[in-house]
A and B are shown apart, each in its own frame.
Chain A
Amino acid sequence: MAVRPFEWIDSRLRLRPALKDIVEHPVPEHVDPVRHPSAFVYCFGGLTFLFFMLLVVSGVFLAFYYVPSPDHAHDSVQYITKEVTFGAVVRGIHHWSASAFVVMLVLHMLRVFLQGAYKHPREMNWVAGVLLFALGLTMSFTGYLLPWDQKAYWATMVGTTMIGSTPIVGDFLLHAARGGSDLGAVTLARFYALHVLIVPGLMFALLGLHFMMVRRQGISRPL
């Protein structure tokens, strides 16, 4: 006798309420673009998350071929782009999603700021959002070095030199960022670890908090 797979699982794990909670979550009237065309501004946060997920998926697949070593980084990226089937597609998704992610992140932040949505009782969610903004830019900065071409190298040279201009602790921070005085193998390895392990882990945790708080508090109304 045929058993429907979803029914089989649902009868054991009771997934339906959780699923309904997602697909049947009612959209509050003031954020419904059908009723209020200007409500499209409430889409920026969701779009930021969409691009974040695209970055996670395409990034995981890039890791199948990418090697973070000065000997291989550039060649492996070229191999992905020019020789692997759909490699240019996967790298393209990662490339364009990265730009779109930052654009949407800024628009989302502007919406929250200009509507005053960071005020009581949502201060903690604003703090989580600002941390996510900082981590998002850290992802951009560390990811930019990984193709290991001239643009990547010199952009990171400029960026890390800026870190070095910090008063008093600048030299220490410069060495910490580069993993030494020069930009080289150690820099590439630590940027890779930050880009694929540390920062994404922190972002997942903060995103969980971000979403839990918005579900608990609701979407703010414009004043």
Chain B
Amino acid sequence: MRRRRTSVLVLYTHPLFGQVIKQLLAGEAWLRVAAVAAVDADAVEQALASAPDMVIVEEGVRLDLQLLRDLAPRTLVIDLSVDASGARRPRPGAVAANPETLVDVIRAHGPRRGSSARRPRSWPPPVVAAEARYEPQVIERALGDGHAAAHRPGVAPEVRRRRFLTTGIVAIAGYIATLVGAPALVYVLSPALRRSGEKKWIAVGSASDLKVDSPKKAEFTVSRRDGWIERTDRQSAWLVRRDDGSLLAFSPRCTHLGCAYDWKPDEKRFVCPCHTGVFAIDGAVQGGPPPRPLDRYPVRKRADGVVEVQLL
């Protein structure tokens, strides 16, 4: 007497899964794939209507499994995973399946052949595994060489499509990152990329106020930009007019340790009170610890007689 074949309903969330499972089960004489359908309310209705012996559901969506079990309590449900990489661990209580063992796993958990064909070996039926994967190896094996060779030898069209889409996703992500990242980088580096402006000439007084060889300390304020803040600093410089008409401007700091020095009119020299550094009227060191002459500022006289200096 010919045994009745086990009817199987395959439910997928991705059509490729249904195709793969159907191909893999094609060689099994003891079962018959009755229907392949997407997992939704209609498919669940169909599961009831055609009264399959076994339902294979893609991916461990608990909601669907529970629904199926509620609606068809006598049907064996296998929650199947196809994982060729072996990188994932099966869910607790589940059995892993890979392309080599897939059919064996289904066979092992399917209804016992013989007189009690419709009764599962154990009840409630076991959950086989959890995560559905779409590995190139599984797809190639299931679809066969002829199918793939029609497009490109060795690579199934689904695989090429997958690679194309992966490249596309990475490219779009890179495009967005560049579009936002490049301006943002320039934005952060903007102070460093900006060219520092020309040094300004600062008017510090009138040349007519300077007597020959009688240094005068000029006090002035310098304004500068600190981001969005306008700062004004008080600065000073020693101005000297020589008898040949030339002008000198010295930084008001001693070159030894930066103290403010002063002009001694009776001694006709600059003296620093901190460590008795002594400078001549042209800034040359005459004594004490200073390592170099007084620092000079660039200085010029405008046509209207105003003296201007540039700070260092």
Give the A-B pair count, Cβ closer than 8 A. 81
Is B188's CB under 8 angstroms from A14's CB? no
Is B40's CB under 8 angstroms from A221's CB? yes
Q: Mark A48-83, 1 if CB is under 8 A from B, else 0.
A: 000000100110010011000000100110110001
Which one, A58, A75, A85, A220, contacts B186 given CB within 8 A?
A: A85
Q: How far is the CA of A29 from the CA of B187 in the complex (A)?
A: 43
- B64 to chain A: closest residue by CB: A218
- B193 to chain A: closest residue by CB: A85
Asked if A217 is at the interface (CB within 8 A of a chain B CB), the reply is yes
Q: How far is the CA of A136 from the CA of B13 in the complex (A)?
A: 33
Q: Mark B165-191, 1 if CB is under 8 A from A, else 0.
A: 110011000000000110110111010
- B187 to chain A: closest residue by CB: A86
Q: How far is the CA of A197 from the CA of B40 in the complex (A)?
A: 43
Of residues 64 through 120 on chain B, the ones whose CB sits less than 8 Å from some CB of chain A are 64, 85, 87-88
| Residues of chain A within 8 A of B190, CB atoms compared | 84-87
User: A103: shortest Cβ distance to chain B, in Å?
Assistant: 19
| Residues of chain A within 8 A of B132, CB atoms compared | 26
Is A93's CB under 8 angstroms from B229's CB? no
| Residues of chain B within 8 A of A9, CB atoms compared | none
User: B87: shortest Cβ distance to chain A, in Å?
Assistant: 4
- A71 to chain B: closest residue by CB: B229
Is A26's CB under 8 angstroms from B134's CB? yes
Is B13's CB under 8 angstroms from A86's CB? no
Of residues 211 through 267 on chain B, the ones whose CB sits less than 8 Å from some CB of chain A are 227-229
Which one, B62, B87, B184, contacts A61 given CB within 8 A?
A: B184
Of residues 156 through 180 on chain A, the ones whose CB sits less than 8 Å from some CB of chain B are none
Is B63's CB under 8 angstroms from A121's CB? yes
Q: How far is the CA of A76 from the CA of B194 in the complex (A)?
A: 18
Is B228's CB under 8 angstroms from A23's CB? no
| Residues of chain B within 8 A of A90, CB atoms compared | 183-184, 187
- A22 to chain B: closest residue by CB: B169
Asked if B160 is at the interface (CB within 8 A of a chain A CB), the reply is no
Instruction: Indicate whether A217 sits within 8 Å of B134 (C-beta atoms), given known contacts A86-B186, A89-B187.
Output: no
Is B228's CB under 8 angstroms from A72's CB? yes
Is A76's CB under 8 angstroms from B188's CB? no
| Residues of chain A within 8 A of B4, CB atoms compared | none
Which one, A30, A65, A89, contacts B227 given CB within 8 A?
A: A65
User: B91: shortest Cβ distance to chain A, in Å?
Assistant: 11
Asked if B162 is at the interface (CB within 8 A of a chain A CB), the reply is yes
| Residues of chain B within 8 A of A57, CB atoms compared | 180-181, 184
User: B93: shortest Cβ distance to chain A, in Å?
Assistant: 16
- B188 to chain A: closest residue by CB: A64
| Residues of chain B within 8 A of A83, CB atoms compared | 228
Asked if A17 is at the interface (CB within 8 A of a chain B CB), the reply is yes
User: A38: shortest Cβ distance to chain B, in Å?
Assistant: 15
| Residues of chain B within 8 A of A30, CB atoms compared | 38, 40
Which one, B87, B165, B180, contacts A17 given CB within 8 A?
A: B87
Is A24's CB under 8 angstroms from B166's CB? yes
User: B306: shortest Cβ distance to chain A, in Å?
Assistant: 31
Asked if A37 is at the interface (CB within 8 A of a chain B CB), the reply is no
| Residues of chain A within 8 A of B14, CB atoms compared | 26-29
Is B87's CB under 8 angstroms from A23's CB? no
User: B89: shortest Cβ distance to chain A, in Å?
Assistant: 11
Is A218's CB under 8 angstroms from B186's CB? no
| Residues of chain B within 8 A of A75, CB atoms compared | 228-229
Q: How far is the CA of A79 from the CA of B40 in the complex (A)?
A: 56
Of residues 3 through 50 on chain B, the ones whose CB sits less than 8 Å from some CB of chain A are 13-16, 38, 40-41
Asked if B149 is at the interface (CB within 8 A of a chain A CB), the reply is no
- B13 to chain A: closest residue by CB: A28
- B87 to chain A: closest residue by CB: A17
Is B227's CB under 8 angstroms from A79's CB? yes
- B169 to chain A: closest residue by CB: A23
Of residues 107 through 127 on chain A, the ones whose CB sits less than 8 Å from some CB of chain B are 121
| Residues of chain B within 8 A of A84, CB atoms compared | 187, 190
Asked if B61 is at the interface (CB within 8 A of a chain A CB), the reply is yes
- B230 to chain A: closest residue by CB: A75
| Residues of chain A within 8 A of B41, CB atoms compared | 221
Is A217's CB under 8 angstroms from B63's CB? yes
| Residues of chain B within 8 A of A217, CB atoms compared | 61-63
Is B184's CB under 8 angstroms from A86's CB? yes
30 A-B pairs within 8 Å (CB atoms) are namely A14-B87, A16-B87, A26-B13, A26-B16, A26-B134, A27-B14, A28-B13, A29-B13, A29-B15, A29-B38, A30-B38, A30-B40, A57-B180, A58-B184, A61-B184, A61-B187, A72-B229, A75-B228, A76-B228, A83-B228, A85-B186, A86-B184, A86-B186, A86-B190, A87-B187, A90-B187, A121-B62, A121-B63, A218-B64, A221-B41
Known: A84-B187, A89-B187. 8 other contacts (CB 8 A): A23-B166, A24-B166, A26-B134, A27-B14, A29-B15, A54-B180, A121-B63, A218-B63
